[in-house]
Structure 1
Amino acid sequence: MQTSVIISTYNSPLWLQKVLWGYFAQDRHDFELVIADDGSSDETREMLAAMAPNSPVPIAHVWQPDEGFQKCRILNKAIAVAQGERILLTDGDCVPRRDFVEVHTRLAQPDRFLTGGYFKLPPNVSKALTQDDIAGQQAFNAFWLMRHGLPFTSKLLKVVATSPFDEWLNRLSPARPTWNGHSASCLRSQAIQINGFNEDMQYGGLDVEFGLRLRHVGIEPRHIRYSAIALHLHHGHGYVTQGMKERSHGVKENTRHNRLTWAERGLSQWLDSSNRATLLRDDRLTRF
């Protein structure tokens, strides 16, 4: 299996369902979906069980008990159970265009990690997306988006840019090429090399810190902001506290300043000597 697409989620089954419709409509099917579930209620598990028979690709659901915001921990467990050579990380509120996996696969390089962007939708447009809109790709049409209330702005370039213009825009983008957790990929072996995500972090910079350690071992980023397109569904951040952000910022800056390459509390907790997953008794792994 070439790629494991790891999708983080927490108690957002309606949004996750829209995201899965996007992966069911991909141009290629040589990947698996790994749902990294940070303690959702049974509603998410039941939704996955209902959708799995219609999936063109295997689905794995790795779940841990709810102990607050522990995204780094569940991402590490998802990497541990992933069976692909490459990992492509995204979120359960990012609906991919049909070439999303294809772009990450085609542009992959052994000494690079790929970092994409997203196109943020307001609440009304997020709710309006239907299965037909996603499967038929109308949702990625600028005119469809504007008909549903999205104002015309220069950001629509992310939706309408096609080859070769997308590559030009990738090179011209002033955005810093960091690891973006909604659209980023590397070799699974590279994630193991830096010990995955830093579980001393919660919200605030956890993705950037992961990317810093990749860069410190010589794996440089490549922008694909205008090539791998995902629609970001609207949601709040009620789980975020100022203390959480400040602590995570401190960890990130320590990694940057000291050029750290290894997370002391990371992925190795969830792997045996053969790099196979070892989860806790209360964790659940279901493969559909």
Structure 2
Amino acid sequence: MKPTTALLISTYNWTEALTVVLTSVLKQTVLVDEILIADDGSLSETKLIIEEFKKLSSVPIIHFWQEDKGFRKSKILNKAIIGSNVDYIIQVDGDCILHPKFVEDHLASLEKGIYLYGSRVNILPNFVSKVLKQKITYFTIFSKEIKNKTRTIHFRFLANFSKSHYSISSKFRGCNVSFWKSDFIAVNGYNEDYEGWGREDSDLVIRMGNNGIKAKRLRYTGIVYHIYHKINSKHNFELNDKIQNQTIENKVTFIKNGVDKYI
């Protein structure tokens, strides 16, 4: 049977970016069964944008919100994923515009025992205001708004040569990843000990790898376009890095402070 799927988008107080991202979602060649928005405490403007897109979308858009108490992305992602009614999760950040075949690419490559991670093309800082104002969602190798231009080449035949592997890749980015919900629950989801920017996404897939799940890179497919912004505060990064190092050294699979509290 065909698995049910959800597109999970994390966001926080950037309605201009979220508007363009959701616009790209509605232009997908293949639709998911649910669109989940994990909101780490945005103001009411974000809710208003989401309500407008609910009217335009042919599939349910479900808004998960929590009070703003600092960067608690792991917690809201856990709540959103466990609140979904699907088998498979495709996850992006709310500052990443989707290639029209983004969902189609992830679904074409999914298989049991594997999580997928894809490429990120960066939108140049000088063109961010133009992209947001004009709601640009389509780019080619000739687009002046982007760098890493070869990463925007879409060629599924070449993607067939990508091999699965166990260790986490240096190319992995949490803004473009997909996995089976059952594999997520098996490692107890995101570790909510992570507060502040950094490492929560890589820690998750490292634990999946420790639990026997392989990784596979989507090359020339599964493309997102990252909207440039200032780097988030890294005030807690040293502690987060320490937690991840413990995950690696101790080959951790199941963490204590995870998603099971919401089941």
Scaled by the length of structure 1, what TM-score is found?
0.83
Residue by residue over 1:170-227, the C-alpha shift from the partner in whole angstroms, topping out at 9 and shown as x without a partner, is 56xxx92675311111111111110000011132211111001101111010011431
Where structure 1 has 5 or more consecutive residues not aligned to the other structure, the ranges are 272-288
CA distance in 2 between counterparts of 1:158 and 1:226 reads: 7
1:56 Cα deviation after fit: 2.5
Identify which range, 48-57 or 108-117, moves more after superposition.
48-57
C-alpha separation in 1, matches of 2:171 and 2:186: 18
SS of 2:156's partner is coil
Contact 1:179/1:221 (<8 A) preserved? no
Counterpart in 2 of 1:140? 139
| 1:82 pairs with one of 68, 84, 87 | 84
Say whether residues 1:209 and 2:211 are aligned partners: no
Separation in structure 1 between the aligned mates of residue 149 and residue 160 of structure 2, nearest angstrom:
16
2:151 is matched with: 158
- The match for 2:262 is 270
Q: What letter is aligned with 1:140?
A: F
The one-letter code matched in structure 2 to 1:88 is I
Query: Counterpart of 1:141 in structure 2: which amino acid?
Result: T
SS of structure 2 residue aligned to 1:204: coil
Structure 2, unpaired ranges of 5+: none
What is the aligned-residue RMSD (CA, Å)?
1.9
Deviations 1:16-41 (A, max 9, x none): 11000111000112331100000000
Residues 1:124 and 2:126 are matched in the alignment: yes
Distance 1:109 1:238 in 2: 34
Partner of 2:51: 49
Partner of 2:244: 252
Q: Name the aligned partner's letter for residue 16 of structure 1.
A: L
Matched residue SS, 2:46: helix
> Percent same amino acid at aligned positions?
30
State the partner residue of 1:237.
Answer: 231
In the alignment, structure 1 residue 261 sits paired with structure 2 residue 253: yes
Q: Deviations over 1:247-281 (max 9, x none)?
A: 0001101010000101210101111xxxxxxxxxx
Residue 161 of structure 1, CA deviation: 4.0
TM superposition shift of 1:116: 1.0
Any idea what SS the aligned residue of 2:59 has?
coil
Query: Mean Cα displacement is larger for which, 119-128 or 40-49?
Result: 119-128
Relative to structure 1, is the Cα distance of residues 131 and 110 closer, same or farther in structure 2, using a 3 angstrom cutoff?
Answer: farther
Going from structure 1 to structure 2, the CA distance change for 1:113 and 1:238 (only over 3 Å counts) comes to closer
For residues 139 and 34 of structure 2, the distance between their equivalents in structure 1, rounded to whole angstroms, comes to 23
Higher helix share: 1
Corresponding residue for residue 70 of structure 1: 72
How far 1:167 moved relative to its partner? Answer: 4.4
